[in-house]
Amino acid sequence: MVDLAARTERLDAYLDERGLEAVWFGKPNGFAWLTGGDNVVDADADFGVAAAGYDGDLRVITNSIEAGRLADEELPEAVAVESFPWHAHSLAAAVAERSPAPAAADFDVPGFDRVDGSRLRQPLTDDDVERYRELGREAAAALETVCRNLEPEDPEYEVAAGIDISLASRDVDTPVVLVGGAERAQRYRHYTPSDATLGDYALVSITAERAGLYASLTRTVAFDAPDWLEKRHRAAARVEATALAATEAAAAGTLTGSEGPDTAADVFDAIRSAYDAVGFAEEWRKHHQGGAAGFAGREWVATPESDEPVRWPMGYAWNPTVQGAKSEDTHLVAPDLTETLTKTGQWPTHEVTPVDVDGIATEPRELTAPVIR
């Protein structure tokens, strides 16, 4: 159950700041953030079959096909559901007709401003964090169950199918499933599954979603580990550890020592320094490094120019790669702790020390290690 009071407090401030009467969310992650429900029928659509709006009160508009199901199965009792004849309007037209104005929406509604829901969704609330912990454990358990049973002759696409089933059995969706065997994991950073067999080792990466929250993680399984795997994985892990330490400092406002809030670009600078220190200075150019996570796979991705403020409590999924190796989990960074959300306690870890970058703590951290079989 979402904390509606925390949501409405932010939305009241947003409406006052922009002189608006209402704001609407039709994209699945915005709808889920505000209501805790799912408005998806067609996963390929840009927005769902219902829009959640706030104008001092919270209500949902949807068509006559979906109204009963959403009220019964997806929404809190406190949320009023209004329907329109499925043949008479589009969702956008119904929202435009029934909403007070001026208003904003996260999908195209005639005459409305556009709202970027990402800033409103940050930072996470206490109930978000609890649900995030549950998702992280479920996602890691599902993926690790599959990975423990891999064999060198398994085709990548069969591994992906097994992951989908394992997560679906836990009521978790998988918008991203990447499976790279020994040959393709070295060649590509996004190893979408093919009919190639795994061979000597495999990288398996997923983004899992439930109730609008997203968690990302990667696991490495080696049957006949290449000579270079340990070195490259540890290098990637040190970059991940550095990114986490820089995130903590940035959220506390102590990374740069400047008067303004520390940003994603400041963390990225630390990441780039870490790649240089571990001997792979150009690897950051070959794949994005991740960023804030929560009600999107990445609420933002860190770049050299990104001005996104680093906030806490918030999920962060950094995913540094060094050719053929990757270190990735989703972590909660909060004022009083940093914890790995995608953790079961059943997968091996190793102690990793962040690179010594100005402004960050360099205490060792326990990060996910490869499994060597």
Burial of 349 (0-12, 13-18, 19+ CB in 10 A): middle
Per DSSP bridges, beta strands 103-105 and 58-63 are unpaired
Q: pTM, whole model, 2 decimals?
A: 0.96
Give the pLDDT confidence of 326-364 residue by residue, as tens digits.
999 999 999 999 999 999 999 999 999 999 999 999 999
Q: Where are the domains of the chain?
A: 4-121, 126-372
DSSP state letters, 30-80 = HHHHHHS----S-TTSSS-SEEEEESSSEEEEEETTTHHHIIIIIS-TTSE
Give the pLDDT confidence of 53-104 residue by residue, as tens digits.
999 999 999 999 999 999 999 999 889 999 999 998 899 999 999 999 999 9
- Do 126-372 and 4-121 have the same topology in CATH? no
**Three-state DSSP class for 212?**
coil
Q: Which residues pair with 331 in a beta bridge?
A: 316, 340
What is the CA 200 to chain-centroid distance, rounded? 30
In the DSSP assignment, the letter for residue 21 is S
Tokens linked to 235: 């290098």
CATH topology of domain 126-372: Creatine Amidinohydrolase (3.90.230)
4-121 under CATH 1.10.420.10, yes or no: no
Position 49: which residue type? V
The Cα–Cα gap between 241 and 318 comes to: 9
Mention every residue, 6+ apart, whose C-beta is less than 8 A from residue 96: 109, 110, 111, 112
Mean pLDDT of the region 124-130 = 96
Tokens linked to 2: 């979402």
* Predicted pLDDT of residue 3: 80
